[in-house]
Amino acid sequence: MSFFKKLFGRIKDKDIKEPNNIEETQQNNAEIERQKEEARLAEEARLAEEARLAEEARLAEEARLAEEARLAEEARLAEEARLAEEARMAEEARIAEEARLAELVKEQEDTPNVDEEIQQAEGVEPAETTQEDKENVFRRLFSGLTKTRNNILNSVESVLRSFHKIDEDLYEELEEALIMSDFGVETTLYIMDELRKMVSMHKLTDPEDLKVALQTIISTILTAQEVTPIIQEGVPNVILVIGVNGAGKTTSIGKLSNQLKSQGKKVVLAAADTFRAAAIEQLQIWANRSEVDIIKHAEGSDPASVVYDGIAAAKARKADVLICDTAGRLQNKTNLMKELEKISRIIEREYPEAHKEVLIVLDSTTGQNAISQVKLFKEVAKVDGIILTKLDGTAKGGAIIGICQSMQVPVKYIGVGEKINDLQVFDPYDFADALFPIDFSEDELLLEQSRAEIADAQQ
Ligand SMILES: Nc1nc2c(ncn2[C@@H]2O[C@H](COP(=O)(O)OP(=O)(O)OP(=O)(O)O)[C@@H](O)[C@H]2O)c(=O)[nH]1
Ligand SMILES: [Mg+2]
C-alpha cells in the first residue's frame, strides 16, 4: 500500500474528514489548534479557580484563627478583671476588718477605768487583777482569735450541720476539717480517737454535741502540760529568748518587760542579737517605752559578752529579771548552736543563783512549721516554754493544739496583736472558750464533768 493510502486509511479511522485539498487540510489544522487553545484556556481557568478557592480557604482559616485569638484575649482580660476585682474586694474587707478591730481596741483603751483612777487619786495601789481586767483580756483574746475561730468553726460546723446522726461518714469529714484547720495529722488522729471515746462514754447521738466534746478534748490537750511561772519570787531570774528571725522575739520581750515592770519588777534587757544594728535599736525603743534598763554593745560584737555584761548589770542594780534577746538567723545551724551554747554557759557560770527560763518564740502564721522549729531548737537548748505570737493575724492558730499535743513544751504566752498590751499569759481554758464559744448551761456541766473524767482517766 502506498504511503498516501496508509495515511488516508488512518485519518478515516479517526473520523476526520478526508481533506480533499490543501485548503481543507489547513482548516483541519486550524481546528486542531483552536481546540488545543481552548483546552489550554480551560486548564488555565481551572487552575485559576483552584488558586482562588485555596486563597479563599486560607483567608477563611486566617479569619477563624484571628477570631479565636480575639476571643481568648477577651477571656483572658475578663479573668484578669475578675481576679483584680476579687483582690480589691478582699483588700477592702481586710481593711474594714482591721478598722473594726482597731476601733474595738481603741474603745477598750479609751474606756476610763474609774475605779483605778479613784484608787490612784487616793494613793491606793490598784488591785492585781479585777474581774473587769479579766473580761478585757478575754475580749482581746477573743478578738485576736477571730480568723482562727472562723476558720475552725466554719469548717467544723458545716460538717456537723450536714449530718443528722454521728456515723463514720461524719467522723471522716470532721477529720478532714481538722486537718485543714492546721491541727496537724498526728493531733487530728488523737482528737478523733478521743472523740469516739467520748461519744460512746456519754452515748452522744446528736452531731451538735460533738462541739462541746471537741472543746473538752482541746482544752484537755492544752492543759496537759504543767505550766510553771516564767519567773520565781525571791531569786534573780534570767530569761533567754530564742526563735527564728521575724518570729516576734524582740516585740515579745518589749511587751513582757512592760508587764513585769508594771508588776513592780526591776527589769534589765540584754541586746544579745548583735547581728544587725537595727535589732539593737529596736530593743532600745522597747526599753524606752517600758522604762527599763538595757545593756548593749556595737553591731557585730560577741553576743555572749553582751549577756555577760547584762548579768553584771543585773547583779549591780539588783534586778529581778534579766531578759536576753538573741539573733534568730538559722542559715548556719552550727553557728547558732555554738552561740546559744556559749550564752547558756555564761549564764550558768556567772549567775548560778538565778532561775533560768528559756522561751522559744513561734510565729503562729507558720502553722505546722512551728513544730519543726521547736524540734530544731530543742536540739540546741533546753526549752522551758513557748511564746506563740501573731495569733491575731492568722487563721492557722489551730497549730497551737498540735504544738501542745506533740511537743511536750507548754505554751506560756500568746501574742494577739502588736500593741504593748497584746501579750497575754496563756490560759488554756479561756483559749478553748475563745476558740469554740459555746452558749451552754447544761453543756457546760457536761464539759466540766468530761474534763474531770479525762483527767481521772489520765492519772
Ligand atoms: N500582729 C502581730 N504582730 C506581731 C506580734 N508579735 C510580733 N509581731 C510583729 O512581728 C514582726 C517581727 O517581730 P520582731 O519582734 O522584730 O521579731 P524577731 O523575732 O525579734 O525578729 P529578728 O530580730 O529579725 O530575729 C514585727 O513587725 C512585730 O510587730 C503579734 O502578736 N501580733
Ligand atoms: Mg529581734
Nearest ligand for residue 389 CA: 1
Q: Answer yes or no: is the C-beta of 247 below 6 A from any ligand 1 atom.
A: yes
pLDDT score of 104: 56
Closest ligand to residue 424's CA: 1
β-pairing, 411-415 vs 423-425, is antiparallel
Of 175, 170, 171, nearest to 185 (Cα)?
Answer: 175
CA distances to 26, 29, 153, 201 from 159, in Å: 103, 99, 10, 22
| 289, 361, 418, 419, best to mutate for ligand 1 pocket (most atoms within 8 Å of CB) | 418
pTM over cut 0.75:
no
Q: Which of 39-48, 94-103, 121-130, 391-400 holds the top average pLDDT? A: 39-48
Give the pLDDT of residue 375.
87
Rounded Cα distance, 286 and 303, in Å = 19
Give the model's pLDDT for residue 421: 85
pLDDT at 252: 97
SS (H, E, C) the chain: CCHHHHHHHHHHHCCCCCCCCHHHHHHHHHHHHHHHHHHHHHHHHHHHHHHHHHHHHHHHHHHHHHHHHHHHHHHHHHHHHHHHHHHHHHHHHHHHHHHHHHHHHHHHHHCCCHHHHHHHHCCCCCCCCCHHHHHHHHHHHHHHCHHHHHHHHHHHHHHHHCCCCCCHHHHHHHHHHHHHCCCCHHHHHHHHHHHHHHHHHCCCCCCCHHHHHHHHHHHHHHHCCCCCCCCCCCCCEEEEEECCCCCCHHHHHHHHHHHHHHCCCCEEEEEECCCCHHHHHHHHHHHHHHCCEEECCCCCCCHHHHHHHHHHHHHHCCCCEEEEEECCCCCCHHHHHHHHHHHHHHHHHHCCCCEEEEEEEEEHHHCCHHHHHHHHHHHHCCCCEEEEECHHHCCCCCHHHHHHHHHCCCEEEEECCCCCCCEEECCHHHHHHHHCCCCCCHHHHHHHHHHHHHHHHHC
Cα–Cα nearest to 360, from 202, 238, 252? 252
Q: Which of the listed residues 244, 251, 388, 418 should we mutate to test ligand 1's pocket, taking the one with most ligand atoms within 8 A of CB?
A: 251
Q: What is the percent of the chain with per-residue pLDDT over 70, rounded to a whole number?
A: 82
pLDDT greater than 90 at residue 152: no
Q: Which ligand is nearest to the CA of 253?
A: 1
Q: Report the candidate in 398, 343, 342, 351 with the shortest Cα–Cα distance to residue 370.
A: 398
Inform me whether the pLDDT recorded for 442 exceeds 50: no
pLDDT (average), residues 164-186: 92
The pLDDT of residue 103 = 65
pLDDT at residue number 107: 55
**Among 33, 152, 137, 29, CA closest to 438:** 152
| Ligand 1 mean position, distance from CA 249 (Å) | 6
* Residue 292 φ/ψ, nearest 5 degrees: -125, 160
pLDDT of residue 228: 85
CB of 394 closer than 6 A to ligand 1?
no
Ligand 1, atom 30: closest residue by C-alpha: 390
Q: What pLDDT does 452 receive?
A: 41
Which atom number of ligand 1 is nearest to the Cα of residue 275? Answer: 23
Ligand nearest the Cα of residue 328 is: 1
Burial degree of 21 (CB within 10 A; 0-12, 13-18, 19+): exposed
**363 in ligand 1 pocket by Cβ < 6 Å?**
no
Q: Is the CB of 390 under 6 A from ligand 1?
A: yes
- Regarding the beta carbon of 251 and ligand 1, being less than 6 Å apart is answered yes
CB of 410 sitting under 6 A from ligand 1:
no
Q: Which residues contact 266 (CB under 8 A, 6 or more apart)?
A: 317, 318, 319, 320, 321
Greater model confidence, 1 or 73:
73
Instruction: Determine the distance separating the centroid of ligand 1 and the alpha carbon of 329, expressed in angstroms.
Output: 14
* pLDDT tens column, 13-50: 455 555 567 888 888 999 999 999 999 999 999 999 99
- Grid cell 479517526 is found at 14
Lowest mean pLDDT among 15-24, 74-83, 107-116, 273-282: 107-116
Amino acid symbol at 223: T
Q: Is the CB of 424 under 6 A from ligand 1?
A: no
Q: Whose CA is nearest to atom 21 of ligand 1?
A: 246
pLDDT surpasses 70 at 244: yes
Residue 198 pLDDT grade (very low, low, confident, very high; cuts 50, 70, 90): very high
Q: 1-10, 144-153, 270-279, 329-338: lowest mean pLDDT where? A: 1-10
| Percentage, residues of the chain above pLDDT 90 | 49
User: What ligand 1 atom has the least distance to the C-alpha of 273?
Assistant: 23
Say which range, 38-47, 111-120, 274-283, has the weakest mean pLDDT. Answer: 111-120
Q: How confident is the model at residue 108 (pLDDT cuts 50, 70, 90)?
A: very low
Segment 375-428, tens digit of pLDDT: 888 888 889 999 999 998 788 888 888 888 888 888 999 998 888 888 999 988
Position 38 scores a pLDDT of 94
In the reported structure, the alpha carbon of residue 150 is separated from the centroid of ligand 1 by a whole-number distance in angstroms of: 24
* Average pLDDT taken over every residue of the chain: 83
Ligand 1 pocket residue status of 245, Cβ below 6 Å: yes
Q: Is 422 in the pocket of ligand 1 (CB under 6 A)?
A: yes
Handedness of CA 444, 148, 184, 388 (dihedral sign): negative
